């Protein structure tokens, strides 16, 4: 019954499906890149495929595979991925009410939390649209990402250098497009983003890849402080 109700709610927002399809397309393209890079680097096909189903965290997966291909062990790869993916803790708090209250909904929703899904959901103007946007974006992107990874892994080295086609830039470009409306509408968000970006750029030359993303979360403190004083 609950599944039927959720499907009915989603069907009422065809424009969300249209908009989310752009994110799905980028997800599939980068998934192909990830699968191809993993297999071309020497990993068996099942590694990127299973990782995408179980871990499902694009940037963390790229980092973990990078460690493995550079000669690091599984423990170092897992630690790198976990460190980079700690940012999703903040994202989960932001969409905790959006996901829903049921135990199954929270379990599945937690697995679908990504930068793109959270940004797409929070860009919506009301709770009903935010919830529909989260599930539309999350479920669709999960399916397309894993299909892309499988296709890339099976294609392997036939794609050559994925950077040549700009596949590595597709996801960041879509994410920027998603957050631009929030940046225009809220000056507190702009100040937080500028602080986070400045901190990330400052530490980039001195820290491993992925750490600047975590440092950028410090910008949330400025946002929270402004909101607290406004209240």
Tokens of 136: 């539309």
Please return the burial class of 45, using the count of CB atoms within 10 Å of its CB with bins 0-12, 13-18 and 19+: middle
In the chain the first and final C-alpha atoms are separated, in Å, by 39
Tokens of 166: 């700009």
pLDDT for the residue 150: 93
- d(CA 34, CA 37) in angstroms, rounded, equals 5
- d(CA 149, CA 31) in angstroms, rounded, equals 4
pLDDT for the residue 1: 46
pLDDT for the residue 139: 92
Question: Secondary structure of the chain: what % helix, strand, coil (to 5)?
Answer: 80, 0, 20
State how far the alpha carbon of 40 is from the alpha carbons of 33, 69, 129, 209, in Å: 10, 10, 41, 21
Listed residue (105, 90, 160, 177) closest to 138, CA to CA: 105
Degrees to nearest 5, angle at CA 173 with 215 and 66: 60
- d(CA 145, CA 130) in angstroms, rounded, equals 21
pLDDT per residue as tens, the chain (231 positions): 455 555 555 556 778 888 888 888 888 888 888 888 888 878 888 988 998 898 888 777 877 787 777 776 777 777 767 776 776 777 777 777 788 777 888 888 888 888 888 888 888 888 888 888 889 988 999 999 999 999 988 887 666 555 555 555 655 665 566 567 667 777 777 888 888 888 888 988 887 655 776 777 777 776 655 554 554
pTM of the entire predicted model: 0.66
Query: In the block, which residue shows the tokens 């019954």?
Result: 1
pLDDT for the residue 75: 75
- d(CA 205, CA 216) in angstroms, rounded, equals 14
Q: Would you say how long the chain is, in residues?
A: 231
């Amino acid at each position: 019954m609950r599944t039927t109700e959720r499907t009915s709610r989603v069907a009422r927002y065809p424009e969300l499906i249209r908009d989310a399809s752009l994110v799905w397309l980028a997800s599939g393209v980068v998934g192909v890149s990830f699968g191809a890079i993993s297999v071309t680097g020497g990993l068996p096909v099942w590694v990127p495929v299973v990782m995408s189903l179980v871990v499902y965290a694009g940037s963390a997966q790229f980092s973990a595979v990078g460690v493995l291909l550079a000669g690091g062990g599984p423990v170092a790869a897992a630690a790198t991925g976990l460190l980079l993916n700690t940012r999703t803790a903040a994202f989960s708090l932001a969409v905790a009410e959006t996901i829903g209250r049921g135990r199954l909904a929270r379990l599945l929703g937690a697995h679908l939390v990504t930068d793109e899904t959270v940004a797409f959901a929070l860009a919506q103007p009301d709770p009903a649209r935010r919830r529909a946007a989260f599930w539309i974006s999350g479920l669709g992107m999960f399916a397309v990402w894993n299909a892309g990874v499988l296709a890339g892994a099976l294609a392997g080295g036939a794609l050559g250098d994925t950077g040549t086609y700009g596949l590595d830039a597709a996801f960041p470009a879509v994410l920027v497009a998603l957050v631009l409306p929030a940046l225009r509408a809220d000056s507190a968000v702009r100040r937080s983003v500028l602080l986070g970006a400045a901190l990330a750029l400052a530490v980039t030359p001195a820290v491993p890849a992925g750490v600047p993303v975590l440092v950028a979360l410090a910008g949330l403190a400025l946002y929270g402080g402004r909101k607290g004083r406004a209240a």
